Chains A and B, each alone.
Chain A
Amino acid sequence: MSVSSETQPHDEKSVLELELDHNREAPSLARAAIAGFSENRDLDAATLATLTLLVSEVVTNAVIHPDVEPPGAIRLAARIAQGRIRVEVTDEGSGFTPQPRDPARSDRGYGLFLLEHQASAWGVERQSGNTVWFELSV
């Protein structure tokens, strides 16, 4: 399993970037990384719990429903600025054209519900893979 983490030199520790292997350990590793990233930022317990939950949900969805076949790595990015934390979870393609997520896919269930109700904002973007992002006020 390859896990790498780096911070941007121009803005120390305000950015997290992590690449996770596509497997069932990915949500746990993503939560651990977000916990480390959130340390010493004065987040209250409820915000931290919401952040951890949403990260787990979005990464879980990426593991269960890869948008590319064969599934590549899952990229987790987070940054904090101006009272907001933004998290992006991207399914990396392996040279194949990613298919947009089907919003009608009902088996995504609670993850989507939680994003809808707990995030300040969220969305899906198609770039070099498919990215699900969300923001929380902190």
Chain B
Amino acid sequence: MLETRKANGEVITGSVRLIHAAGMHARPAVKLTKLAKKFQAQISVRASDAAEWINAKSVSKIMALRAARDSIIEIKASGEDAKAAVAALVALVSADFPDTDQ
């Protein structure tokens, strides 16, 4: 389920299955954007095989993904802390958005 790889030295990508029962709704969307904002890196996500990548730091865009349960969320990031960002976001989604104090 968790697969991160270094693509070309700069862009880090990962993908993870969305297991949240309600899909990407308000609570998960807020958690995802909050976490994304902790990183300097530019982070984009897309659901399953959507053509467009969207900004992982925009809650309105994440909600608009309307990603359903079991869809695959792809994440890519570039910048200094890109690797940590992708790892953290993949961990968040694969752990089903736990209520933890990060």
The finding on whether chains A and B are genuine partners in a shared complex, rather than unrelated, reads no
A residues adjacent to B (C-beta < 8 A): none
